């Protein structure tokens, strides 16, 4: 899912620009924002089908091996879908103004930052508590970790494998609030992508 999100997402707009087919598409009575959102929803549909097929295969394997799969696994799959939806939006954003190679690097970088931002914050706080870093250096590291944690999408929120494996109940409304969280970031990324794409001149 991650590979499809990144490497298909970064080429969605660029291949239209390089092939000059974007001129034909934009000559139709559609706005550039609609073009971006349409591309996004198309790839998101592919991701959804891909994830559904893998989920079915996963349940079959668990059933054949006598692992007694439960429906709680679907909560994890649902949140994985939202995680991939954010990654697709990031890849599409970078594809509107950067080359495919740079778009892939930027997208993977944001994915890693989003996955590790919480751990980075915890590590900085821990080393400050035990006194391994002091003074100005500690303040700078803490501010950097805080910025990364606040700005980048917290993709770690969508990994509930520990809850599912150990059969621990999720916090109340966890799935609902994280769905809204994902929608917020997706909206921001698509808005920026649409704004940037509307400023480009293809003639």
| 151-194 confidence digits (pLDDT tens) | 889 899 998 888 888 888 888 899 999 999 999 999 999 999 98
pLDDT at 68: 77
Interatomic CA distance for residues 181 and 184, integer angstroms: 5
pLDDT tens by residue, 93-127: 998 888 888 888 999 999 998 888 877 777 767 66
Q: Which residue has the higher pLDDT, 142 or 191?
A: 191
Query: What 3-state class would DSSP assign to 70?
Result: coil
DSSP state of 134: -
Range with the poorest average pLDDT among 27-31, 56-60, 152-156: 27-31
| pLDDT surpasses 70 at 132 | no
pLDDT at 184 (0 to 100): 95
104 in Cβ contact with 9 (< 8 Å): no
Instruction: Read off the pLDDT of each residue in 72-94 and give the average, rounded to a whole number.
Output: 92
Between CA 28 and CA 33, with CA 29 as vertex, the angle to 5 degrees is 100
pLDDT of residue 178: 94
Instruction: With 0.75 as the threshold, say if the pTM is over it.
Output: yes
| Residue 161, pLDDT score | 86
pLDDT exceeds cutoff 70 at 138: no
- Report the C-alpha gap between 153 and 151 in whole angstroms: 7
Cα atoms in the Cβ-side hemisphere of radius 13 Å centred on 91 = 28
Confidence of residue 130 (pLDDT cuts 50, 70, 90): low
Query: Is pLDDT above 80 for 144?
Result: no
């Amino acid at each position: 899912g991650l590979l499809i999100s990144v490497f298909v997402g970064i080429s969605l707009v660029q291949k239209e620009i390089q092939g000059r087919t974007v001129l034909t598409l934009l000559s139709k009575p559609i706005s550039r924002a609609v073009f971006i959102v349409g591309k996004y929803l198309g790839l998101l549909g592919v991701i959804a089908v891909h994830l559904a097929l893998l989920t079915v295969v996963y349940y079959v394997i668990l059933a054949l091996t006598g692992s007694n799969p439960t429906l709680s696994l679907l909560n994890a799959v649902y949140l994985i879908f939202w995680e991939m939806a954010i990654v697709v939006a990031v890849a599409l954003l970078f594809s509107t103004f950067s080359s495919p190679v740079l778009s892939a690097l930027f997208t993977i970088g944001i994915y890693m930052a989003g996955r590790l931002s919480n751990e980075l914050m915890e590590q900085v706080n821990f080393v400050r508590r035990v006194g391994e870093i002091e003074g100005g250096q500690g303040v700078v590291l803490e501010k950097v970790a805080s910025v990364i944690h606040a700005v980048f999408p917290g993709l770690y929120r969508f990994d509930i494998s520990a809850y599912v494996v150990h059969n621990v109940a999720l916090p109340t409304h966890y799935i609902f609030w994280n769905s809204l969280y994902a929608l917020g970031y997706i909206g921001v990324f698509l808005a920026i992508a649409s704004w940037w794409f509307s400023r480009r001149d293809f003639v």
